């Protein structure tokens, strides 16, 4: 039987009480750590079975954020290796616990480093447009403010879940002057903006970026007005198996996030589509700020270089 903690973490990720690619990955790693601690196994086979089941539960929650399978792989690959080499239960338990802890610590450090590297891209008085809510993006604002920069922001509300409200509150707490706008006002205000700054759920090997639905439209608006688009993302957002953006799965969510149940009942003939993410082409992205450095176009080369340097 999987633990209550594992099941409740999986549930929270699925219904977005835990959301955002890095928080999802860290929560999954913490659930794996807890599962390893609680696992009552008489044999290595039994322990590995418990961990494989836990990994499977977590992997089924949300499909687009590659941070989730990458976190699971970071933990499970050494476990499988040690298992095949005949390690005992306590050794396997220590491996899972150690790797999960390491993943979370690395992720926290990576977000801080992205803050420092990303803040260098912002001028002393920058006006930045954001979409959705990204911890990596907020980290850049936090560092820029720490450096005494006077940043202001046009924060898109981000229908249908309004993650922009979280961004607006957090940036305001940092002392950023915040203008909260409806999503469709992006182009209207783009001429007042110096740069667009967004996070990522997955980055394909060609530099295509999957992020909250509407990111691509924002990037198009930025391209129209000649404004740069900076992406902030930890390297575990790189989808090593996705050569291009078209192989990143896009999560479709409930119509009830878009309209009330009454509307659905009264309008049976209307199909309500709610894709949660879209993919922005590399040509519309100026750079990708990672903890391993700021990656520049051509991304197929810079991503490959970062990946081989990191030993992925």
Catalytic residue IDs: 132, 201
The alpha carbon of residue 165 and the mean position of all alpha carbons in its chain are separated, in whole angstroms, by 17
The answer to whether the CB of 134 falls within 8 A of the CB of 232 is yes
Applying CB under 6 A, the span of 13-21, 75-83, 179-187, 278-286 interacting with ligand RUB comes to: 13-21
- What the block records as the tokens of 108 is 């926290």
Helix and strand numbers, DSSP H then E, in the chain: 11, 10
Applying CB under 6 A, the span of 38-46, 194-202, 242-250, 291-299 interacting with ligand RUB comes to: 194-202
Here's the x/- map for ligand RUB, 125-144, by CB under 6 A: it reads as -------x-xxx--------
- What the block records as the tokens of 15 is 């219904």
| Paired sense of beta strands 177-181 and 152-156, if any | parallel
Burial of 10 (0-12, 13-18, 19+ CB in 10 A): buried
Residue 280 CB, shortest distance to ligand RUB, in Å, is 12
Q: Count residues near ligand RUB (CB under 6 A).
A: 17
- What the block records as the tokens of 285 is 């992205």
**For ligand RUB, which residue of 126, 218, 235, 276 counts as binding (CB under 6 A)?**
276
Residue 156 binds to ligand RUB (criterion: CB under 6 A): no
Here's the x/- map for ligand RUB, 206-225, by CB under 6 A: it reads as -----xx-------------
Residue 26 binds to ligand RUB (criterion: CB under 6 A): no
Residue 298 CB, shortest distance to ligand RUB, in Å, is 23
**For ligand RUB, which residue of 34, 35, 201, 287 counts as binding (CB under 6 A)?**
201
Whichever of 50 and 213 has its CB closer to ligand RUB, that residue is 213
Q: Tell me the C-alpha distance between 83 and 77, whole Å.
A: 10
**For ligand RUB, which residue of 6, 10, 20, 96 counts as binding (CB under 6 A)?**
20
Residue 22 binds to ligand RUB (criterion: CB under 6 A): yes
* Count of C-beta atoms within a 10 Å radius of residue 68: 25
Could you give the C-alpha distances from 78 to 15, 87, 104, in angstroms and in order? 30, 11, 16
| Paired sense of beta strands 127-130 and 195-198, if any | parallel
Residues engaged in binding ligand RUB (CB under 6 A): 19-23, 65, 132, 134-136, 163, 199-201, 211-212, 276
């Amino acid at each position: 039987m999987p633990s209550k903690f594992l099941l409740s973490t999986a549930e929270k990720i699925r219904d977005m009480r835990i959301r955002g690619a890095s928080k999802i990955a860290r929560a999954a790693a913490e659930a794996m750590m807890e599962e390893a601690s609680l696992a009552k196994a008489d044999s290595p086979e039994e322990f590995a079975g418990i961990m494989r089941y836990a990994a499977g539960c977590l992997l089924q929650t949300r499909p687009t954020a590659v941070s989730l399978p990458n976190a699971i792989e970071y933990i499970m690959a050494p476990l499988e290796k040690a298992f095949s080499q005949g390690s005992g239960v306590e050794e396997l338990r220590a491996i899972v616990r150690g790797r999960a802890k390491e993943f979370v610590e690395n992720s926290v450090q990576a977000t801080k480093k992205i803050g420092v590297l990303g803040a260098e891209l912002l001028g002393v008085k920058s006006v930045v447009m954001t979409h959705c809510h990204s911890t990596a993006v907020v980290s850049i604002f936090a560092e820029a403010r720490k450096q005494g920069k006077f940043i202001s922001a046009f924060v898109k509300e981000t229908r249908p879940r309004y993650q922009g409200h979280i961004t607006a509150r957090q940036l305001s707490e940092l002392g950023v002057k915040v203008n909260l706008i409806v999503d469709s006002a992006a182009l209207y205000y783009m001429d007042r903006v110096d740069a667009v700054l967004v996070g990522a759920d997955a980055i394909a090997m060609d530099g295509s970026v999957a992020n909250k639905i509407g990111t691509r439209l924002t990037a198009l608006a930025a391209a129209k007005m000649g404004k740069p688009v900076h992406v902030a993302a930890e390297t575990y957002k790189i989808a090593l198996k996705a050569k291009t953006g078209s192989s990143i799965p896009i999560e479709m969510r409930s119509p009830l996030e878009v309209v009330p149940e009454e509307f659905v009942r009264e309008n049976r003939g209307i199909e309500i589509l709610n894709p949660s993410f879209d993919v922005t082409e590399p040509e519309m992205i100026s750079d990708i700020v990672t903890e391993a450095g700021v990656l520049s176009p051509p991304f197929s080369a810079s991503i490959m270089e970062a990946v081989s340097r990191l030993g992925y």
